[in-house]
Amino acid sequence: MRQLGELEAEIMNRLWSWGRPASARDVLTDINTRRPIAYSTVKTVADILYRKGMLRREKEGRAWLYEPTCTRQQYTAALMQEALGGNPDPAGALLSFVERISPGEADALREALRVAKRRGGTP
């Protein structure tokens, strides 16, 4: 899974935060409160995200309604897994990562490891 481009991320972040299907027009209206962008640009990028498997869509009237195929957390985890999988020294990469995170992020990591262990995961 590759990292999202700027507008791809902007669209996905809105859909993730809304938690409901939305049309390209809905996304456009929200983006245009911060900066101008053309409807055709939003529609094209939403279609690209659909073809990449990041969005599913369903026709409602004449418009497509888009929704993410994964959560923001699943997407982030896939990026992290890809980065670790391509590294010849995953322990070193993890150590470098842990040395750079905030105390709050370290607490969240410890809690995630505890939960995974209780669920029978590998940590």
**pLDDT by residue (tens digit) across 1-47?**
678 999 999 999 999 999 999 999 999 999 999 999 999 999 999 99
Type of residue at 12? M
Return the bridge partners of 66, or none.
22, 57
pLDDT value of position 83: 86
pLDDT value of position 87: 87
Predicted confidence (pLDDT) at residue 123 exceeds the cutoff of 80: no
Q: Which two tokens stand for residue 38?
A: 């053309």
Predicted confidence (pLDDT) at residue 121 exceeds the cutoff of 80: no
| Collapsed DSSP state (helix, strand, coil) of residue 25 | helix
DSSP 5-45: -HHHHHHHHHHHHHTS-EEHHHHHHHHTTTS---HHHHHHH
**This prediction's pTM:** 0.82
Determine the Cα–Cα distance for residues 64 and 58; give it in Å rounded to an integer.
6
